[in-house]
A and B are shown apart, each in its own frame.
Chain A
Amino acid sequence: MTAPSATATPTVRDAPAARTGWRARLSRPLRRLRFTREGRFFTVVTVGVGIAAINTGNNLLYLVLGLMLSLIVLSGVLSELSLRGLTFKRRLPRRAFAGTSLLVEIEVHNNKKWAPSYSVEVEDRIEQRVTDKRCYFLKVSAGARQTAAYRRVAPLRGRERYLGLRVATRFPFGLFEKWREVELEDEHVVFPAPVPQPEAPRARSMSRGGFNARKDRGRGDVDGLRELRDGESAREVDWKKTAQSVHAVIVRERASEGAKVVQIELRNGPAERERPGFSRLFEEELRRVAWRATQALESGAMLELRAEDGGNGRHALVRLTPSNDGAERALRFLALLPPSPALSEPDATTKAKVK
């Protein structure tokens, strides 16, 4: 396994291209329809009028029947018009923690030149999970972009794959709901939510999910000066030198052997997994370690995380400096550690949906 990158990247993705050509058109999933409550009522009345018309031969009933059927036909055409020519983007949050609310933004762009789209509802599809949260767009003018957002709670840490969108409309008459699936793949890593810990790090004592802390000689001596790198903490900025420099922000570079190094080793090997209640305990421990790791990095210490990388007996290791994105990298490392929580714990959201 390659050790996971420790950054949750905000992603912006266009909908993947539609296949073109007649073969692709034939194989393209069709629009799907569902009756609404009003639509069921309307259809039943239409059928009733039709039966009455055939029975009585009353031409006025035929006329009303024609009107009602034409409304149904037009409903299909206009809902198609409303769904056509829309492209979507999804914006995921930079950081997402399991069990806490996150905001997902959906941007819709109406590519049509003259026709606005009305009453568009967008629902996200996540791998193995269904979000019951939707974004509603009352009107997207021709050529315009609109953004809406929904809040959801990611139940588990780990990699979340967003597969696409379910784009639906009940426009124009609310008789039917027509929807289509839009492929819009995205991925982000849900971090374990850190749990604040009162005690200080202890040395080499963990039986399950532990750490080693090695306190060395303070933060070390200044070794030299260099330019500030992207994502690096501003803690070591030498403001005086920076003011003298025209283009660069100058930081003080310290000798690494002088820095405090916190080592944390998580024990999640095959032997530990055999123990009863391992999954739950491991997840709890992960959350505690997440807090400690972030605290350590914030305090300016170097961090070394080590854990078993699944069933192949290899170890994953990440060494982190206290830069701006250090905490994120640590959290990402922890989020992607096996065992995957999805394998051991049921998804509450999915259960709720099935009900």
Chain B
Amino acid sequence: MRFARVHKVSVYTVAVLGLMSLASGGALQGPIGIVIAAGVIASWWAEGALLEKRAYARLQTTLLVLALGVQFARATLFGHGLLDAAVEFAALLQVSRLAYRKTAAEFQQSTALALAHLIAATVLGAGLSYALCFLGFVIALPWALTLGHLRREIEGNYLADARAGRAGVPIDVARILRSRRVVGPGLLVGSSLLSLPIFAITAVLFVLFPRIGLGVFSLRQSRGAATAGLGDEVDLAGHGTIRDDPTIVLRVEPSNLGPNPPSVRPFRLRGAAFDVYNGHAWSRRSLTRTSVLRDAGEYDLFIVRGEQTRRQVSYRLTLDGIDPPVLLLPPGTVRVRVDPRMEAGYPRYPDLTRDAANEVRYSAQDDLGLVYTAYVPEVIADDLGQYNADRSPLDEATTRRYLQLPAVSPEFLALARQLTAPHETAYDKASAVVRHLRSFRYTLDIESGGAERPVEHFLFRSHAGHCEYFSTSMALLLRAAGVPTRNVTGFLGGTYNRYGRFYAIRQGDAHSWVEVYDQRFGWITFDPTPPAREPATRASGLLSEIDAVLEALRARWRRYVVGFDLSTQLRLFQGAARWFDFGGRGRGAHQPAARSPRAEAQRNRPPSHYAFAIGGIAALGAIGWFLSRRSSLRSAPETRSVRDAIALARAFDNAVAARGFSRPSSRSLVAHAKTIRDAGAPIAELATEVADRWAAARYGAQPLTESELDGYKKSLASFDDAKHGQPPRDAPSAASASP
């Protein structure tokens, strides 16, 4: 491939990856994203004569200044975030660079900008898409940097070089850039393979860096995904179209997962609860929140007593950043343990607060979400969570709040009476209403949304709606019958990911149901939405497998990379130490009394791990030494014997040259000695002897001894022509004489 083409492709790859990393963090959405994408595509063809035009350069500068002004105005006057505006301008700057790339310097600026984008994107988002962009960088960045460097060297060295003068014509840089010989498959494959050591070194450094996290200044944004039904108000006509949104909100790993988990296992996860309905929307009367007490990472939501509540089922939940930051919990949760973040070497736990309806929220610092474990007493544990742990009696004021009704028709009241009158307990009344509503049809079409009283339209006309209509109708019917109820939103669903061994809860699993207060059981969960409302069916086949793999990767990325902290690091090091048996031995030494037979056996075990580790290191060292030695032997230019032979040849050259027999470079010592002998020079005999000895040392594997070399050197230096006869008649004479 042509050098210039490969270089261009590599720089564009890196530039696009940089822009994608920004986009993965939620920046560059909407029209600005389209403008940037179009700009990058158009810039591909901006080269050659176009770049030489002064008008084009002026247009570039003008547009860039204009963009800076617009972004500044958006940030200061129109309430656009300063960070967003800066990020968008950085992206526009990249487009500008790509559209005006004449020399290696511009290409390098593009690469540097792409790297800056990758760095900036770290504060914007932390999703799997960033991971993919990062992986792309690991592969493409060495290409771009290597080729950029070579191009710079080409441009710098082939303009006014001595070679040019020798050849008589200046070397054309463009010709080299068009050459297919500089960048062969070897360089491309080699620089691609560089991604392996880069990845390995990056991984090692990533694990080894101590996670301190001083937290002095952070730009990280709290930008969780807006989640339906968890806000301060739920409008019946406002949503219902997120059913097909596959975005994962939560991953559930129940302790009772079992060896063959079913592919679909619906989990009910409670989010927000609402007590006031105004005829169209639910809201809360009291927004007062109280802190949940924490004890070393554990938060007790409800104090439960009794032997039967000690056995608990746990659900490990990995919550992505959502807005508002509501803690999604299985009904019946009595205790929550939160995985802390390490800051400045200390664990930092979020503050949990809850309102009167037991909606729990956490203090979100960023959009990274939360990892926590919910504990449910085994006696009430149920994935669908009918029983609630909140069994506190209702006072009169609270009861009134949960009996609040909007203006309803007599027909509505009559239906409520008709359904509930035959039953005495709240539980039975609620069950009757559920039975009635289960005969209705579940639909995502908001057929009753435009009606003046959507609930009554749903109950008496359409008989079809989504979960909000079912839950609202049930809550109001029971309230009309004097049963305290509240509308609850959260999630119901769970599809198993066999690659990640978790159940995924998606945005499309958002759901609404009712909590009914019963004197005997406290708050009980009832879900009037008909069973037709199954968890959203997922595509099957290869695509779904790929999707599952991506989801598992996303979970691992989140857990092992984004969520990697000092505690994880310490656990990792402790695990490594245990592997080498350091920790076990240390503990055993300090606790001899408590040592079990198994620990004793372990203690007396031959140190195979040590032997293995030391043997491995020794083997690696030996391989390294062998390769290094081989390399040095191969690359060693000369041995000592060759050096001595060269020294002898120099002495020979000097001696004979002083007598007018300079040796041409093309003639060997032996041949030259013959020439001198033919000329009859007095030094001929010595020259022949030295030449023969030189040949034996240089090529005959008969190295010169030190004394031998010194002797020859002295003989050559002190050779006196006068003692050995007159020089030939035509040879020049050279002599020194005193005045």
Q: Given A14-B638, A315-B737: A151 and B162 within 8 A (CB)? A: yes
Report yes or no: A55 in contact with B216, Cβ–Cβ below 8 A: yes
Hey, what's the 0/1 contact readout for B215-234 against A, CB within 8 Å counting as 1? 11111100000000000000
Please give me the residue from chain A that is nearest to B186 by CB atom.
A116
Could you say which of A53, A63, A174 contacts B561, with CB atoms under 8 Å apart? A63
For the complex with contacts A2-B736, A58-B218, A173-B145, 11 further pairs of A-B residues with Cβ separation under 8 Å are A4-B658, A10-B665, A57-B211, A59-B211, A63-B134, A78-B194, A85-B631, A111-B634, A134-B157, A230-B679, A314-B739
Within 8 A of A (CB), among B152-183: 152-154, 157-158, 161-163, 165-166, 176, 181-182
A191 at the interface (CB under 8 A from B): no
Hey, what's the 0/1 contact readout for A309-346 against B, CB within 8 Å counting as 1? 10001111111110101100100000000000000000
B601 at the interface (CB under 8 A from A): no
Distance from A122 Cβ to chain B, minimum over Cβ atoms (Å): 11
Q: How far is the CA of A54 from the CA of B214 in the complex (A)?
A: 6
Q: How far is the CA of A111 from the CA of B638 in the complex (A)?
A: 12
Distance from A115 Cβ to chain B, minimum over Cβ atoms (Å): 8
Q: How far is the CA of A118 from the CA of B637 in the complex (A)?
A: 20
Q: How far is the CA of A9 from the CA of B146 in the complex (A)?
A: 42
Q: Which residues of A contact B218 (CB under 8 A)?
A: 55-56, 58
Q: Which residues of A contact B643 (CB under 8 A)?
A: 16-17
Q: How far is the CA of A64 from the CA of B734 in the complex (A)?
A: 73
Please give me the residue from chain A that is nearest to B216 by CB atom.
A55
Distance from B364 Cβ to chain A, minimum over Cβ atoms (Å): 15
Q: Which residues of B contact A225 (CB under 8 A)?
A: none
Q: Which residues of A contact B194 (CB under 8 A)?
A: 74, 78
Report yes or no: A58 in contact with B220, Cβ–Cβ below 8 A: yes
Show 9 residue pairs from A and B whose CB-CB distance is below 8 angstroms, ordered by the A residue: A15-B638, A56-B219, A67-B141, A70-B197, A118-B187, A136-B158, A138-B150, A313-B739, A315-B739
Chain B, interface SS category: helix
Q: How far is the CA of A174 from the CA of B145 in the complex (A)?
A: 8
Q: Which residues of B contact A154 (CB under 8 A)?
A: none
A interface residues with partner B (beta carbon < 8 Å): 1-7, 9-18, 20, 38, 41, 45, 49, 53-67, 69-71, 73-74, 78, 84-85, 87, 103, 111-113, 116, 118-119, 121, 133-136, 138-139, 148-151, 170-174, 229-230, 232, 309, 313-321, 323, 325-326, 329
Could you say which of A2, A9, A66, A103 contacts B205, with CB atoms under 8 Å apart? A66
Q: Given A57-B565, A232-B730: A74 and B146 within 8 A (CB)? A: no
Total cross-chain contacts (CB, 8 A):
254
Q: How far is the CA of A10 from the CA of B666 in the complex (A)?
A: 10
Distance from A109 Cβ to chain B, minimum over Cβ atoms (Å): 9
The 9 A-B residue pairs with the shortest CB-CB distance, nearest first, are A57-B213, A17-B638, A174-B149, A70-B201, A7-B662, A60-B122, A66-B202, A3-B734, A66-B205
B308 at the interface (CB under 8 A from A): no
Report yes or no: A62 in contact with B206, Cβ–Cβ below 8 A: yes
Q: How far is the CA of A5 from the CA of B122 in the complex (A)?
A: 72
Please give me the residue from chain A that is nearest to B214 by CB atom.
A55
Report yes or no: A18 in contact with B198, Cβ–Cβ below 8 A: no
Could you say which of A49, A87, A112, A318 contacts B734, with CB atoms under 8 Å apart? A318
Q: How far is the CA of A299 from the CA of B177 in the complex (A)?
A: 54
Within 8 A of A (CB), among B17-66: none
Q: Which residues of B contact A111 (CB under 8 A)?
A: 634-635
B640 at the interface (CB under 8 A from A): yes
Q: How far is the CA of A150 from the CA of B163 in the complex (A)?
A: 7
B451 at the interface (CB under 8 A from A): no
Report yes or no: A136 in contact with B341, Cβ–Cβ below 8 A: no
B639 at the interface (CB under 8 A from A): yes
Report yes or no: B660 in contact with A171, Cβ–Cβ below 8 A: no
Report yes or no: A9 in contact with B564, Cβ–Cβ below 8 A: no
Q: How far is the CA of A200 from the CA of B640 in the complex (A)?
A: 55
Report yes or no: A136 in contact with B732, Cβ–Cβ below 8 A: no
Could you say which of A60, A78, A148 contacts B126, with CB atoms under 8 Å apart? A60
* From B118, B730, B739, residue with most partner A Cβ within 10 Å: B730
Q: Which residues of B contact A69 (CB under 8 A)?
A: 201-202, 205
Q: How far is the CA of A87 from the CA of B198 in the complex (A)?
A: 30
Q: Given A5-B657, A7-B662: A54 and B213 within 8 A (CB)? A: yes
Q: How far is the CA of A321 from the CA of B220 in the complex (A)?
A: 89
Q: How far is the CA of A80 from the CA of B205 in the complex (A)?
A: 22
* From B343, B635, B663, residue with most partner A Cβ within 10 Å: B635
B550 at the interface (CB under 8 A from A): no
